[in-house]
Structures are given as C-alpha cells and as structure tokens.
Structure 1
Amino acid sequence: MTTPANPVVARVDGLGKAFGTGGNTVTALDAVTLGIRRGQFTAIMGPSGSGKSTLMHIMAGLDSPTSGRVWLGDTEITRLSDTDLTLLRRRRVGFVFQAFNLVPTLDIAGNIVLPFELDGRRPSADEQAWIDGLIDSLGLRERLRHRPHQLSGGQQQRVAIARALAPRPDLVFADEPTGNLDSRTGREVLALLATAARGYGQSIAMVTHDPVAASYADRILFLADGRLVEDRTRSSAEEISSFMLAMERAA
C-alpha cells in the first residue's frame, strides 16, 4: 500500500506542450505539476483532447515538452539526447498497450525476455527468479512455447504485463490496457496491475477513459483542456462517472 514515505519515481513540474505555430497553436498541456510514488497505481483520465496521452508520452520520454521539466527518479530527462532517452526507456520504463504489441515470430518466453535482448544481455540469476515468479503468478507456465496468435486476448495481455514488469522498471505506463478485452478479462487484467503495485511495489500510470478501470487505481488524476483539475484517492466507478459527467457539463 502506498504511504507518504514512498519515494517519488516520476514527476513533472510546470509541464507545457503546444502543437503548431502562430494562430494554429494547440495547447495540449498547460503548467501541469505532479508526481507518482513507488507502489502507486495511478489512473489518468479526461475527455478526448484533454492531454492525458501527451502527458504519458512526455513522462515516458517518447515526446518532449515545450516548457517545464520531467524527472524519472533523480534523472531529469527533459534535455537528454535521443540515445540516452532510448537507453532510459529500455531499462527504466515498461509499457502495456491496448494492442498488446507482442512480437509474432517469438514464443511467449522470448517475448517476456525481449527487454533484456534489446539491452544486449541475459537476465541475471536474480532477475530470472523474478521472471519465473511472474510467469507462475500470471498463469503463463504452460504457454511459454506458444506464439502470441495461439493465445486469447487476455493471455496476450498477461504476456505484455510480464514483459513490462520483467526488468523491474521504475514506472510502467499502461495505455487503455483493457480496450481490446471483454469486461471479465479486463477486470482480471486490472486486478493484476493492482497486485503489481500493491504486492510488488511497482509504480503504474494508466491512461483510461473507463471509470470501471480507473476504480482499480489508488489515485485518479483528471485532466481537462491540458490542465490537472482533480487529484483524488481511490474512488468507485459511480463516483468517477459522476465527476466525469460534471466535467463535460462544465466544458
């Protein structure tokens, strides 16, 4: 469980992002300041165009801000070179996508250890023990020699979660991770993400439009027109829906 003593693993200060120039400028983020603590499962919500995906991309080093500063741990990533950003993402950031993004030519075992292969090394004994624990806890032991197309959507997303957690990253970003799943399987995946945060101390930031998905998070950030308008602790799906509806009426 997250406590105030848990260290901040990622933060942004005065973050701004604009697209276009002159009269065609669109402000995607406007002076956003926030931090994410270790072991915290954070949902990022907001209407389409609110800036939630832009925020995730900048915090993950996939895009650069127009203004403000970004840190991952003690590393300010705002002015890192492309090469350094690539290394940082590979070693310290995990990703879980709506479309799974598994490599079809690799078996499940190969997909899970892909971050290590990309880093040019094999898992250490300690890392392999961690990976073996993930494989067992995610129910993938009997599927390791299968290819992604031989698995259900829920099983593929479990593989994606195992791959994201395998290197023990500072932060895992999940972009609509249940978008391609039926509701029952989606709930199972959300429970796994919550367990990763509360049981393994993993920090997770999930972009979602789904109040049910957000209700699994420890914390919910609401964006509107590029600004952080609400920062609340765990809430029910009904409470989240009501707040979202009020936001839309006020827009």
Structure 2
Amino acid sequence: MNTTSSLVASVVDVRKIYGTHGSVAALDGVSLGIRSGEFTAIMGPSGSGKSTLMHVMAGLDGATSGRVFLGDTEITGMNDAELTVLRRRAVGFIFQAFNLVPTLDVRGNIMLPFDLDGRSVSRDEEQWITHLIQTLGLAQRLAHRPYELSGGQQQRVAIARALATRPKLIFADEPTGNLDSKTGREVLSLLSTASSQYGQSIAMVTHDPIAASHADRVVFLADGKVVADRPRTSAAEISNLMLSMETAA
C-alpha cells in the first residue's frame, strides 16, 4: 500500500455489524486503500461485504468501529452536512438504482453536480461532457426525462453525471449491470480513460470477471474480509479465483 497521501480513500480496521441479536459482521476488520489514479475492482461472492465496503468508504454508511478517510480527511465522526459537502466536491457515484432526478431532462441530470455546487462549466469541461454524451450515445436523448429512457439509457446518464466534473474518486456499483455488452465495453473504456488520462481513481464493485479484468487492481472479499489483492488479472484467472472462493464458502 502507498503512503497515506497517495490514497484517495482508505479504511483502517473497519468493522460493520448489522443487527444486535445474532448480529452479522458485513465487514470484519478491513484495512484497504484506494490509490490515486488507479482503477480498482472490488469483487466477492454475494454477501461478501463488497457493497457495504463501498458505502462505508464513501461515507454513505457509518462503520461500527475503525477509521475511514477520504483523502487525508478522516470522515469517521463527520455529520451528514459535512459529509454531503465533501462528497459533492470530491466524489462521483454510479449506482445500480441510477438515482436520476425525474423532473430534469438528460442534460439537466448530467449538469446537476455543477448546479448543486453553484459553479459554471469551463470550456474544457464542456468539451469533456460533449465527449461523454457522444460516447455514451445520449446526443439524441438530451431533452428526454428519465421515464422516457430505457434502463440502459438511464445508466448511461448516471455514468455521464458521475464523470462530468472529473472528481478525484468515483465509486461505481455494478456500472455495466444494466447494459448490453457493447455499451458495457464502452463504459469500461471510459472508466479506464478517466483513470489513465485524467488521473481519476475508480473503485468499482462488480461480480463480472470481464469488467474486473479492465481494472489495474482487483481486490477480493469473502465473509467481510479482504482475502486477495491482485494487480491487473485476466477474466479467466478472476473467474477461477471467484469459483474457488465460492466453493470454499
């Protein structure tokens, strides 16, 4: 693991317990850092704690114990208002549920992070947004509202919104799960470009070995613990490791 200053997010000995009687440890003493400019895939069997880890790292859910950092800032004891401002400035999110604003059209949803932060768009940012819109096939849909779009189109809008401000860190929860294979490949290429060319850090939760094979690093969870941490790995090797983990479970 690199020095703390090169980490855009990290957890130190984090536990997350659900329930009081017969409690379940979704995270059981996890220490992990997301490195600056790196594309990290987080994998594991169903119930391994990967989505919980993402939510805790992003400050969307609190840890039962341990410490959580966004950059050099410890967020463990922050209140909701402080966390909201910090996330808005530094973090982008791609959720399975899209979380689009139903009253805004596609362009309005993509521009929402700028509006919420009360800032105008630079010429360079406008060019990047145009590139996102073209790459994701949304140019003919800018005036449509979410209810007029398919699930795959809504996911593309959510991805464009997350990438639009070029935040230092993007959390992506199964970003290709609702997409056809061609669009999925384009999205993974976009995430790779955001990391390699623009220095953005990507933390992607996925169950798909092909998606994970695009990442610079693959972290495997099982029973709330990190059980493997590998550099870029082929889809076949990832599949074999996942199969052995599920067999062991």
TM-score, normalised on structure 2? Answer: 0.90
Q: Is the 2:171–2:202 Cα contact (8 Å) retained in structure 1?
A: yes
Distance change in 2, residues 1:134/1:189 (3 Å) = closer
Q: Is the 2:28–2:225 Cα contact (8 Å) retained in structure 1?
A: yes
Which sits farther off after the overlay, 145-154 or 30-39? 145-154
Q: Is the 1:99–1:180 Cα contact (8 Å) retained in structure 2?
A: no
- Paired residue secondary structure (2:68): strand
Distance 1:51 1:202 in 2: 24
Q: 2:117 aligns with which of 100, 115, 119?
A: 119
- Paired residue secondary structure (1:188): helix
Q: Is the 1:18–1:28 Cα contact (8 Å) retained in structure 2?
A: yes
Distance 1:234 1:163 in 2: 27
How far did residue 82 of structure 1 move?
Answer: 1.2
Q: Is the 1:154–1:186 Cα contact (8 Å) retained in structure 2?
A: no
| Letter aligned with residue 94 of structure 2 | V
Distance 1:239 1:129 in 2: 38
Q: Is the 1:154–1:189 Cα contact (8 Å) retained in structure 2?
A: no
Q: 2:99 aligns with which of 94, 98, 101?
A: 101
What pairs with 1:213-224 in structure 2 (closer than 5 Å)?
213-224=211-222
Tell me the alpha carbon deviations over residues 91-116 of structure 1, each in whole angstroms, 9 at most, x when there is no partner: 21111122333223222221111012
Q: Does 1:192 align with 2:190?
A: yes
Distance 1:124 1:181 in 2: 30
TM-score, normalised on structure 1? Answer: 0.89
Distance change in 2, residues 1:133/1:210 (3 Å) = closer
Q: Is the 1:108–1:143 Cα contact (8 Å) retained in structure 2?
A: yes
Q: Is the 1:32–1:228 Cα contact (8 Å) retained in structure 2?
A: yes
Distance 1:183 1:134 in 2: 18
Which sits farther off after the overlay, 82-91 or 148-157? 148-157
| Letter aligned with residue 191 of structure 2 | L
How far did residue 132 of structure 1 move?
Answer: 4.2
- Paired residue secondary structure (1:62): coil
Q: Could you say what the CA RMSD is over the residues aligned between the two structures, in angstroms?
A: 2.4
- Paired residue secondary structure (2:191): helix
Residue of structure 2 equivalent to 1:145 = 143
How far did residue 184 of structure 1 move?
Answer: 2.4
Q: What stretches of structure 1 of length at least 5 have no aligned partner?
A: none
How far did residue 8 of structure 1 move?
Answer: 1.4
Q: Percent identity?
A: 70
Distance 1:131 1:187 in 2: 19
Q: What stretches of structure 2 of length at least 5 have no aligned partner?
A: none
Distance change in 2, residues 1:125/1:55 (3 Å) = same
What pairs with 1:1-251 in structure 2 (closer than 5 Å)?
7-21=6-20, 23-124=21-122, 127-128=125-126, 130-136=128-134, 138=136, 140-151=138-149, 153-251=151-249
| Letter aligned with residue 103 of structure 2 | T
Provide the aligned length of Structure 1 versus Structure 2: 248
| Letter aligned with residue 194 of structure 1 | S
How far did residue 199 of structure 1 move?
Answer: 1.9
Which sits farther off after the overlay, 90-99 or 134-143? 134-143
